[in-house]
Structure formats: structure tokens, C-alpha cells
């Protein structure tokens, strides 16, 4: 589904990504872990060009999205994105947040978008909040709405950039439960997270990034039970899970 070739990214003379080569298959649940500043979120955001690479190529369904003239907005329709902060429109209701993009992009007419939105709100346990505004929701509820909003566009892949890092600890579980359900249903997912239990339980493959490169990767059992890279061993020792 996605092929990354020699991906580099520089910020102000500092190299953040150092020639990454990677392939993400349809149906994979790729979880990216690593210390802060290792380039995890930058790599994720490059996948849909929210960060423009300094060098290298990214292919999505055999289309080089780094090439000139590519309609990146059409590519982004295939990729739902959930951020650390929820980015909900404060002046719109929960239902309005979910129906806005499908209607404005022409993906659905308003009645269909409303029906789909209500089904998604039921799915994330928030059907009773359809007429509420974001300010009336808890952090966990806002993040579940953000996930439902991305799903309303019927993406083939979901990208999660540390979706629980801004939440109070008691709200983390409700968001991870929704993500677990998506994984069970076969959604292709790329997740940057510090939630190691989630990574081990849900990931089909784990990438460990360090200093802008992929230092080790493998199945959850390989990475968490038998890490080979010394830096990964240090990382796992430093965290409790």
C-alpha cells in the first residue's frame, strides 16, 4: 500500500530522518515506538505530506506522492489522521464535525453523511453526544469523536500520531479500546505511541526508531521479548509496562 524509499527530512540544518526505507502492507497494524525526538511523528506525517520530505520518494498505491503535480488531497482521502490534539471545530456540534468533510468534498449528500455519522458515533459510544459541542466533552470523548470524524471519510488507512498523549490517564483506555476495535476489523493502521501494552497487543509489526532511523523492527514478540539492538534494550528497560 505504501512504499518509502530513502526518505530524508531536514529542519534548520538538522537531519530528522536519515534515509528511511520501509513498506507498509494493506491490513498491517504498524506501531512505531522510540524515544522522544527520534523522528517518529515526522515519519508518520511525511506519509501524507503533512511534512514535506527533503529527499526520497513515497508511493501510495504505486503513485509517487512526492512528484510534482500529484493531487495530494485525493491521496489524503484514503488516509484518516488522528493527532495528539483533537482539532475539532469548536463552533460545530459533534454531528456537525463528522458531516462537514464528507459533504464538502462531495463524498456524500447531507442525509447519508448524517446517517453514517450517527452509526460511527454509536460505534465509539457517543451517540448521545451528537448535539453537544466539543467544549462539553472530556478529552477522551473528544479523541473518540476525532477518530469517528476520520472514519466518516471511509479511509483505507488510519494514521495515529500519539493519540493518547494529551489525555488524562483515566481517559486513555477508552480511546485505545476504539483503536483495538478498528484493528480487529482489519483496518490498516500506522500508530505512533508510547502505550507499550497497546503496541504489544495490537501491533502486527513494531518499528523502533532512534536518531532518525529505524534501528530494529519485527513482530511484537521479537521486539519486546528478544530485542537485539542495544538502544532498544535500553529503551525497554527505561519504561514500565
pLDDT of residue 1: 87
Element of type H or E holding 158:
strand 157-161
**Backbone φ/ψ region at 68: left (φ over 0), alpha (ψ -120 to 50), beta:** beta
pLDDT in tens, the chain (241 residues): 899 999 999 998 899 999 999 999 999 999 999 999 999 999 999 999 999 999 999 999 999 999 999 999 988 988 999 998 888 999 999 999 999 999 999 999 999 999 999 999 999 999 999 999 999 999 999 999 999 999 999 999 999 999 999 898 889 999 999 999 999 999 999 999 999 999 999 999 999 999 999 999 999 999 999 999 999 999 999 986 6
DSSP code at position 131: T
Question: What is the Cα–Cα distance from 129 to 131, expressed in whole angstroms?
Answer: 6
pLDDT of residue 40: 96
N- to C-terminal Cα separation, the chain:
31
pLDDT of residue 241: 60
Sheet with 63-64, edge to edge strand ranges: 14-24, 2-11, 55-60, 63-64
Residue 195: C-alpha distances to residues 49, 89, 160, 181, 239 (Å): 25, 27, 12, 16, 10
Amino acid at each position: 500500500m505504501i512504499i518509502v524509499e530513502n526518505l530524508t527530512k531536514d529542519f534548520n540544518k538538522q537531519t530528522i530522518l536519515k534515509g528511511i526505507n520501509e513498506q507498509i502492507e494493506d491490513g498491517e497494524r504498524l506501531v512505531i515506538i522510540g524515544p522522544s525526538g527520534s523522528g517518529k511523528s515526522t515519519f508518520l506525517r511525511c506519509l501524507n505530506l503533512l511534512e514535506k520530505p527533503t529527499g526520497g520518494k513515497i508511493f501510495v498505491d504505486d503513485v509517487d506522492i512526492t512528484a510534482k503535480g500529484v493531487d495530494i488531497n485525493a491521496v489524503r482521502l484514503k488516509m484518516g489522521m488522528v493527532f495528539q490534539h483533537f482539532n475539532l471545530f469548536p463552533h460545530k456540534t459533534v454531528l456537525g464535525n463528522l458531516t462537514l468533510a464528507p459533504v464538502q468534498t462531495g463524498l456524500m449528500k447531507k442525509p447519508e453523511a448524517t446517517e453514517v455519522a450517527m452509526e460511527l458515533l454509536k460505534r465509539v459510544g457517543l451517540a448521545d453526544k451528537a448535539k453537544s459541542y466539543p467544549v462539553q466533552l472530556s478529552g477522551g470523548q473528544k479523541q473518540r469523536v476525532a477518530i469517528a470524524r476520520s472514519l466518516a471519510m471511509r479511509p483505507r488507512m488510519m494514521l495515529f500520531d500519539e493519540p493518547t498523549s494529551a489525555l488524562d490517564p483515566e481517559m486513555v483506555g477508552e480511546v485505545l479500546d476504539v483503536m483495538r476495535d478498528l484493528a480487529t476489523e482489519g483496518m490498516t493502521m500506522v500508530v505512533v505511541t508510547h502505550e507499550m501494552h497497546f503496541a504489544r497487543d495490537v501491533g502486527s509489526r513494531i518499528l523502533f526508531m532512534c536518531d532518525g532511523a529505524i534501528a530494529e523492527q519485527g513482530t511484537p514478540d521479537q521486539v519486546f521479548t528478544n530485542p537485539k539492538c542495544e538502544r532498544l534494550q535500553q529503551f525497554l528497560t527505561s519504561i514500565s509496562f
